[in-house]
């Protein structure tokens, strides 16, 4: 669920401790279908994908000693994750038989404390853990967006990281936009703390959710700056937090820039690639028409 935000640091940490690290493959139809069969019926799309990834690891690697599935409770003192994320380990243990030992230490916003818990579960001492953690922090990749040239339409694509950064779950939306001659920006390159500050200054009651803060903060940023030609909100059907975040974003855009085109698309396992592309094309045409009127 939070692979795209934290995985590089996690992988380096385990490798520095001397472990062989196996990362599940990219999400695909087989992975998702296996997850759909095993996950609870009311699970959202990314949770079903998580099940599929776990099952694929177990099937393809018979001698796994551990599966790393941390309980990401909150990302700072005021930014919690959703209940499904907090309960992933319990959901998995109750529905999947013969799991290897699950490393499910709780992350509550403090990196060093979390890695210390994980390292001790793996039998390492404080000095080994500290050394591995500090080495993992070096040369971490920084997300970036390509610079817009100002000639093509520019769309802000917002949503949870596990939707925006998984090309199968988001149905290759960024490839589609590039094919349509549209540029895009996402919250991935933005500092989470800065977006949280922006979200809390938008004039609404504090949400307390990590992704809600990022989504609202980024919406406020691009709306206030008038830096994009439209905003596209990708959501997972069954998400527990987006139905509360979405109306706030719509309200903010409506108050600050009511002419800014906005669209929201729900994603689930029932994939209609042509229907999805048609909606993206229609939104881009709306943006072109809006630009022509200016």
Same domain, 159 and 124: no
The answer to whether residue 148 sits within a structural domain is no
Residue 13: pLDDT above 60? yes
Q: How many domains does the chain have?
A: 2
Determine, yes or no, domain membership for 240.
yes
Tell me the DSSP string of 7-42: HHHHHHHHHHTT----------HHHHHHHHHHS-TT
In a domain, 142, yes or no: no
Residue 36 pLDDT: 92
Task: CATH number of the domain at 258, please.
Answer: 3.40.50.11900
pLDDT digits (tens, 9 = 90+) for 166-196: 999 999 999 999 999 999 999 988 888 899 8
Mean pLDDT of 1-15: 90
In the predicted structure, residue 237 carries a pLDDT above the cut 70? yes
- What pLDDT, on a 0 to 100 scale, did the predictor assign at position 143? 58
Is the pLDDT assigned to residue 133 strictly greater than 70?
yes
Q: What is the band of 68 on the pLDDT scale with cuts at 50, 70, 90?
A: very high
Shared domain for 161 and 114, answered yes or no, is no
Among residues 38, 43, 4, 48, the alpha carbon closest in space to that of 165 is found at: 4
Give the model confidence (pLDDT) of 249-290 as tens digits.
Answer: 999 999 999 999 999 999 988 888 888 999 999 999 989 887
Res 232: pLDDT:
96
Q: How many helices (H) and strands (E) does the chain have?
A: 13, 10
Count the Cβ atoms, other than its own, within 10 Å of residue 190: 17
CB neighbours of residue 283 within 10 Å: 21
128 and 28, same domain (yes or no) = yes
- The verdict on 58 and 185 lying in the same domain is no
Indicate if the pLDDT at residue 144 is higher than 60: no
For residues 132 and 212, membership in a common domain is answered with: no
The answer to whether position 16 is within a domain reads yes
Between 37 and 75, name the one with better pLDDT.
Answer: 37
Task: Check whether residue 126 and residue 165 sit in a common domain.
Answer: no
pLDDT (0 to 100) of residue 147: 52
- Residue 240: band (very low, low, confident or very high) from pLDDT cuts 50, 70, 90: confident
Q: Is 103 found in the same domain as 25?
A: yes
Among 106, 136, 166, the domain-final residue is: 136
Backbone angles phi, psi at 38, to 5 degrees: -100, -30
Residue 192: the pLDDT is 86
For residue 178, being part of any structural domain is answered with yes
Rounded CA-CA distance 234/280 in Å is: 11
What is the span of the domain harbouring residue 63? 3-136
Rounded Cα distance between 171 and 252, Å, is 28
* For helices 111-121 and 126-136, angle between their N-to-C axes, nearest 10 degrees: 130
CATH number at residue 82: 3.40.50
Q: What is the pLDDT of residue 142?
A: 61
Instruction: Give a yes or no: residue 147 inside a domain.
Output: no
Q: Is residue 129 part of a domain?
A: yes
| Mean predicted confidence (pLDDT) in 17-46 | 91
Residues 11 and 77 in one domain: yes
pLDDT the model gives residue 146: 52
pLDDT at residue 145 tops 60: no
Which among 136, 166, 188 is the end of a domain?
Answer: 136
Closest alpha carbon to 9 in 91, 53, 72: 72
Domain boundary among 74, 106, 136: 136
User: Do 63 and 89 fall within a single domain?
Assistant: yes
Residue 68 sits in the same domain as residue 171: no
């Amino acid at each position: 669920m939070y692979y795209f935000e934290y995985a590089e640091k996690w992988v380096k940490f385990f490798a520095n401790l001397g472990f062989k690290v196996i990362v599940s493959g990219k999400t695909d139809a087989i992975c998702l279908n296996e997850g759909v069969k095993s996950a609870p019926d009311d699970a959202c799309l990314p949770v079903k994908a998580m099940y599929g990834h776990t099952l694929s690891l177990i099937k393809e690697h018979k001698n796994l000693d551990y599966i790393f599935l941390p309980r990401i409770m909150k990302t700072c003192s005021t930014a919690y994750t959703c209940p499904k994320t907090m309960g992933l380990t319990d959901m998995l243990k109750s529905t999947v038989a013969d799991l290897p030992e699950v490393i499910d230490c709780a992350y509550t916003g403090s990196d060093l404390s979390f890695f210390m818990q994980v390292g001790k579960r793996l039998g390492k001492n404080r000095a080994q853990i500290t050394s591995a953690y500090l080495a993992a922090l070096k040369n971490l990749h920084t997300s970036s967006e390509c610079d817009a040239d100002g000639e093509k339409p520019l769309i802000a694509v917002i949503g949870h990281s596990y939707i925006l950064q998984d090309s199968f779950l988001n149905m290759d939306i960024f490839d589609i936009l590039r094919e349509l001659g549209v540029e895009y920006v996402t919250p991935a390159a933005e500092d989470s703390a800065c977006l949280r500050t922006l979200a809390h200054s938008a004039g609404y009651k504090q949400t307390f959710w990590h992704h809600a803060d990022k989504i609202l903060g980024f919406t406020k940023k691009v709306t206030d700056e008038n830096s994009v030609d439209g905003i596209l909100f990708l959501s997972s059907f069954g998400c527990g937090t987006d139905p509360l975040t979405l109306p706030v974003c719509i309200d903010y855009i409506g108050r600050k820039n009511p002419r800014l085109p906005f669209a929201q698309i729900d994603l689930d396992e029932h994939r209609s690639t042509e229907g999805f592309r048609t909606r993206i094309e229609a939104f881009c045409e709306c943006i072109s028409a809006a630009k022509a009127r200016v």
